[in-house]
């Protein structure tokens, strides 16, 4: 019997696929091969990932459930069914996070002289120092609120650390509400390092105390004349997805500014509680936030593991971190007079972080100071604080060059920074636009227009990642420099689409969402299937962050049935099931989780022995194909194309990679004679 390629059994739910990805991240925290302080980072990242998952994905499902939605996706799960499965998986995941912290990381830290001191471990000297710290640094800025009719339950900020205190006795006015709320200001550190001279009887250079422990130990001092019978930390996670009806607003920037304030107090979706919090107190909090038992998570430790991310920066132990490295700069760039001369010699491909991001910054800096440069065009999605890229654009505008910047205001969780960025650029004379109503601008493009003799030359940079110098040190991304005329014309046309009205014109070399990318990818997959049916070699290699879009998955299934060899390197969510008899035996799905966050998007098609290789800003997801402005560009230089293919073969040979099984779970490769870690090999060059 032929299986329908639309059958729900062939598709993995995207939310559950994300939780599997987060489980793989957490596994890095358990590995002895990962330096100890880096293991804590992976634990923190898994916690941060889960926060965002609840803020956006779970919040969205809860809204659908509240509206009575019963629609089913390709996996045949309703919103309510998804939420039930998510609750089961996240409880297991959170329990494992705290087990790793308490049973693995903390004991190993202690063996290295890095200790987290519990209240019952403080000696006299430490208690005295911590009391002074509480009196001088904490108490003056803490605002306890007793709960009574005149003091209703306060508005608790999204993901902020708070305490619910149970009280005995009466205050100066004879009031006895029995409960109070204490919110810890975000300016306070969540982990306090004891000065070396206060290390206590056992000494120790790195002694840390959780802020929650300090407040708990001194909570009575916040309520004179009363006694705190209990003090329990909690944290509420709220819906953080912003909604702006772009068809109904006149000024997107102002609308975004107005909406941002609501993020801090959106509907509650999760309540994290100290494990020892009594059931009646927990039920009281649930009632205040309108949450059910399924929305409550008990924590055997600090309720926000992400705040431990500062520990590696506070501990000067290089032996417990990844070794430092110096990104490469090619000889051609080093010997060239400037970036324009280097690009004129031929296309330049950078693979970050193995190759330095400095040439990208130099490209814009030189453009800003070059009297022959007349204009700069730039897209910005995420840039980071004190961005050298932004500084170069500001300098160019101040120098009288025509600077056009397309800023995506709706880059999730960077909205406030991008609003400030847009304002600053406008103040120095740059033209700033926010893209196209209804479509996020996710394309990564920079173009410099330079007068050379009697003509204008276009120099282009296209990338798979953001113009963000800091993440370029920790994310893997490709960037291509070229002065090819067709590329220049294509990029010019895309910028015109973003800034003016008019119909889309077909590009000469590049593919673009929402117009040509999806259809062209499908055609390439189908072409490989036709070659396989004709008995010719046929292969697809695709590397991306997520693979969700159903019609692409169906095309891959058809290609597998035709005999195409398909290798997919998918870091995160993958809805495709490999290894299904009669459907996907020829498909292998690999996930590489390592020191650097895999972020490159690479699409390879055998093409009858003349391989086509594309780099892109887009994953194979519906939003990237249909709801965003994305670019995808071919690597045409033979040597550069061969280099990208070699990189992909390294990832496929990675002996630490995870492999997706047909049931939706992942297994790590068993150690064999050949040891290959792709990122390490790329670092070594």
pLDDT in tens, 252-265: 455 444 444 444 55
With 70 as the cut, is the pLDDT of residue 229 above it? yes
Distance (Å) of CA 538 to CA 517, 611, 643, 649, 667: 21, 10, 20, 16, 27
Helix/strand/coil for 631:
strand
Place of tokens 């309703």: 78
For residues 375-380, average pLDDT: 97
For residues 235-243, average pLDDT: 81
Q: What percent of the chain has pLDDT over 90?
A: 79
For residues 293-309, average pLDDT: 94
SS (H, E, C) 191-250: EEECCHHHCCCCCCCEEEEEHHHHHHHCHHHHCCCCEEEEEEEEEEEECCCCCCCCCCCC
With 80 as the cut, is the pLDDT of residue 529 above it? yes
Q: How far apart are CA 105 and CA 208, in angstroms?
A: 14
CATH, range 512-684 = 3.30.870.10
List CB contacts of 39: < 8 A, sequence separation 6 or more.
Answer: 28, 29, 30, 31, 104, 105
Query: By the 8 A CB rule, do 168 and 174 touch?
Result: no
Q: What is the pLDDT of residue 1?
A: 41
Top-ranked range on mean pLDDT: pick from 59-73, 234-248, 622-636: 622-636
The residues pairing with 407 across neighbouring beta strands, listed in sequence order, are: 380
For residues 74-99, average pLDDT: 96
User: Which residue intervals of the chain bear CATH 3.30.1840.10?
Assistant: 8-320
With 90 as the cut, is the pLDDT of residue 203 above it? no
Given the residues 218, 352, 442, 468, select the one marked as catalytic. 442
DSSP 8-state code for residue 583: T
DSSP 251-298: -HHHHHHHHHHHHTT--EEEEEEETT--HHHHHHHHHHHT--GGGEEE
Please state the length of the chain.
Answer: 685
Q: How far apart are CA 311 and CA 121, in angstroms?
A: 20
pLDDT band of residue 61 (cuts 50, 70, 90) is very high
User: Which residue intervals of the chain bear CATH 3.30.870.10?
Assistant: 331-508, 512-684
Query: By the 8 A CB rule, do 293 and 311 touch?
Result: no
DSSP 8-state code for residue 104: I
DSSP 111-126: HTTEEE--GGG--HHH
Query: By the 8 A CB rule, do 538 and 564 touch?
Result: yes
Q: How far apart are CA 62 and CA 67, in angstroms?
A: 9
> Each residue of 430-440: pLDDT tens digit?
999 887 878 99
Query: By the 8 A CB rule, do 114 and 206 touch?
Result: yes
331-508 architecture in CATH? 2-Layer Sandwich (3.30)
- Give the H/E segment covering residue 623: helix 622-626
With 60 as the cut, is the pLDDT of residue 249 above it? no
Question: Reading across the β-sheet that carries 296-299, which strands appear in turn?
Answer: 145-146, 179-183, 162-168, 227-238, 268-274, 296-299
Query: By the 8 A CB rule, do 25 and 672 touch?
Result: no
Nearest alpha-carbon partner for 446 in 364, 340, 357: 364
Which tokens in the block code for residue 587? Answer: 């498909």
Which tokens in the block code for residue 324? Answer: 């430092």
Q: How far apart are CA 165 and CA 146, in angstroms?
A: 9
Q: What is the pLDDT of residue 208?
A: 96
The residues pairing with 589 across neighbouring beta strands, listed in sequence order, are: 568
Q: Regarding beta strands 296-299 and 455-463, do their DSSP bridges make them parallel or antiparallel, or are they unpaired?
A: unpaired
> Each residue of 109-164: pLDDT tens digit?
999 999 999 999 999 999 999 999 999 999 999 989 988 766 789 989 999 999 99
With 70 as the cut, is the pLDDT of residue 107 above it? yes
Q: How far apart are CA 484 and CA 459, in angstroms?
A: 8
Respond yes or no: is residue 71 known to be catalytic: no
The residue with greater pLDDT, 641 or 264, is: 641
DSSP 8-state code for residue 11: B
For residues 619-643, average pLDDT: 97
Q: What is the pLDDT of residue 147?
A: 87
Q: How far apart are CA 237 and CA 240, in angstroms?
A: 9
> Each residue of 173-188: pLDDT tens digit?
565 668 999 999 888 8
- Give the H/E segment covering residue 658: strand 658-660
Question: Where are the strands (E) in 429-468, listed by range?
Answer: 431-433, 440-441, 445-452, 455-463
Q: How far apart are CA 582 and CA 133, in angstroms?
A: 67
The residues pairing with 352 across neighbouring beta strands, listed in sequence order, are: 477
Place of tokens 């290089």: 318
- Report the alpha-carbon angle 138-139-144, nearest 5: 115
With 50 as the cut, is the pLDDT of residue 247 above it? no
With 90 as the cut, is the pLDDT of residue 266 above it? no
| 0.85 exceeded by pTM | yes
Q: What percent of the chain has pLDDT over 70?
A: 91
Question: Where are the strands (E) in 464-508, listed by range?
Answer: 475-482
With 90 as the cut, is the pLDDT of residue 67 above it? no
Instruction: Give the HSE-up count for residue 100: Cα atoms under 13 Å, Cβ half-sphere.
Output: 25
Nearest alpha-carbon partner for 328 in 304, 294, 291, 353: 353
Q: How far apart are CA 74 and CA 545, in angstroms?
A: 20
Q: Regarding beta strands 612-616 and 628-634, do their DSSP bridges make them parallel or antiparallel, or are they unpaired?
A: antiparallel
Which tokens in the block code for residue 399? Answer: 């120098």
Q: What is the pLDDT of residue 241?
A: 73
Q: What is the pLDDT of residue 174?
A: 60
With 50 as the cut, is the pLDDT of residue 320 above it? yes
For residues 402-406, average pLDDT: 95
Q: What is the pLDDT of residue 257?
A: 46
Other CB atoms within 10 Å distance of the CB of residue 450: 20
Q: What is the pLDDT of residue 132?
A: 97
Which tokens in the block code for residue 555? Answer: 């095309």
Nearest alpha-carbon partner for 89 in 53, 121, 134, 143: 53
The residue with greater pLDDT, 618 or 411, is: 618
Domain 8-320: which topology? polyphosphate kinase like (3.30.1840)
Q: What is the pLDDT of residue 414?
A: 60
> Each residue of 659-670: pLDDT tens digit?
999 999 999 976
Which tokens in the block code for residue 368? Answer: 């800003």
Which tokens in the block code for residue 482? Answer: 């070229």
Q: What is the pLDDT of residue 616?
A: 98
> Each residue of 329-353: pLDDT tens digit?
999 999 999 999 999 999 999 999 9
With 60 as the cut, is the pLDDT of residue 192 above it? yes
The residues pairing with 181 across neighbouring beta strands, listed in sequence order, are: 145, 164
Inter-axis angle of helices 415-427 and 388-398, nearest 10: 20
Q: How far apart are CA 268 and CA 52, in angstroms?
A: 13
With 60 as the cut, is the pLDDT of residue 593 above it? yes
Helix/strand/coil for 65:
helix
pLDDT band of residue 615 (cuts 50, 70, 90) is very high
Mean pLDDT of the chain: 91
Q: How far apart are CA 16 and CA 256, in angstroms?
A: 31
Which tokens in the block code for residue 426? Answer: 């406008």
Nearest alpha-carbon partner for 164 in 77, 263, 110, 231: 231
Q: What is the pLDDT of residue 200?
A: 47
């Amino acid at each position: 019997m032929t299986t329908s390629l639309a059958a729900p059994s062939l598709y993995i739910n995207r939310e559950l696929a994300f939780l599997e990805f987060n489980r793989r991240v957490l596994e890095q925290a358990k590995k002895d091969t990962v330096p100890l302080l880096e293991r804590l980072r992976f634990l923190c990242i898994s916690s941060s990932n889960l926060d965002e998952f609840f803020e956006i994905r779970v919040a969205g499902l809860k809204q659908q459930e509240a509206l009575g939605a019963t629609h089913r996706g390709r996996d045949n799960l309703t919103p309510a069914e998804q939420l039930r499965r998510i609750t089961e998986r996240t409880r297991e995941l959170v329990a494992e996070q705290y087990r790793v912290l308490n049973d693995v990381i903390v004991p190993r830290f202690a063996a290295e002289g890095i200790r987290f001191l519990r209240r019952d471990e403080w000696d006299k000297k430490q208690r005295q120092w911590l009391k002074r710290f509480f009196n001088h640094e904490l108490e003056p800025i803490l605002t306890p609120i007793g709960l009574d009719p005149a003091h209703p339950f306060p508005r608790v900020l999204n993901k902020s650390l708070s305490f619910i205190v149970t009280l005995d006795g009466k205050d100066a006015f004879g009031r006895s509400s029995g409960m109070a709320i204490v919110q810890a200001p975000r300016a306070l550190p969540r982990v306090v390092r004891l000065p070396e001279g206060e290390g206590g009887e056992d000494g120790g250079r790195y002694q840390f105390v959780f802020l929650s422990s300090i407040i708990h130990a001194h909570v009575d001092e916040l309520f004179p004349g009363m006694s705190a019978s209990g003090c329990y930390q909690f944290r509420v996670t709220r819906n953080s997805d912003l909604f702006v009806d772009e068809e109904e607003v006149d000024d997107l920037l102002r609308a975004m500014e107005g909406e941002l304030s609501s993020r801090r107090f959106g509907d509650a979706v999760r309540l994290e509680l100290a494990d020892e919090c009594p059931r009646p107190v927990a039920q009281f909090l649930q009632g205040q936030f309108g949450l059910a038992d399924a929305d409550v998570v008990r924590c055997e430790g600090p309720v926000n593991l992400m705040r431990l991310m500062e520990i590696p920066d506070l501990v000067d132990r290089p032996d417990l971190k990844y070794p430092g490295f110096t990104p490469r700069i090619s000889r051609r760039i080093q010997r060239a007079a400037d970036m324009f001369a280097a690009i004129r010699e031929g296309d330049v491909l950078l693979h970050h972080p193995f190759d330095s991001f400095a040439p990208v910054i130099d490209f814009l800096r030189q453009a800003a100071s070059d009297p022959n440069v007349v204009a700069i065009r730039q897209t910005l999605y995420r840039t980071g604080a004190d961005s050298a890229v932004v500084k170069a654009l500001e300098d160019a505008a101040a120098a009288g060059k025509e600077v056009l910047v397309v800023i995506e205001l709706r880059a999730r969780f960077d909205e406030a920074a991008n609003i400030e960025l847009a304002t600053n650029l406008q103040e120095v004379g740059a033209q700033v636009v926010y893209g196209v109503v209804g479509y996020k601008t996710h394309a990564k493009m920079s173009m410099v227009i330079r007068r050379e003799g009697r003509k204008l030359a276009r120099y282009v940079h296209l990338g798979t990642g953001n113009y963000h110098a800091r993440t370029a040190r920790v994310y893997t991304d490709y960037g291509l420099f070229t002065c090819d005329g067709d590329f220049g014309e294509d990029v010019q046309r895309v910028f015109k689409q973003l800034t003016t009205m008019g119909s889309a014109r077909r590009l000469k070399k590049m593919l673009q969402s929402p117009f040509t990318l999806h259809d062209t990818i499908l055609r390439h997959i189908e072409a490989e299937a036709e070659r396989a049916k004709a008995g010719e070699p046929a292969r697809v290699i695709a590397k991306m962050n997520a693979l969700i879009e159903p019609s692409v998955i169906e095309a891959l299934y058809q290609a597998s049935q035709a005999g195409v060899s398909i290798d997919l390197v998918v870091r995160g969510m993958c809805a495709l099931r490999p290894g299904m008899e009669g459907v996907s035996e020829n498909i292998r799905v690999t996930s590489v989780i390592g020191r650097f966050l895999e972020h490159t998007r690479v699409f390879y098609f055998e093409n009858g022995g003349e391989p086509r290789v594309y780099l892109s800003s887009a994953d194979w997801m519906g939003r990237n194909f249909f709801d965003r402005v994305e670019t995808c560009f071919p690597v045409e230089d033979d040597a550069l194309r061969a280099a990208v293919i070699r990189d992909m073969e390294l990832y496929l040979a990675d002996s630490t990679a995870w492999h997706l099984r047909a049931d939706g779970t992942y297994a790590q490769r068993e150690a064999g004679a050949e040891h290959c870690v792709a990122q390490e090999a790329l670092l070594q060059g």
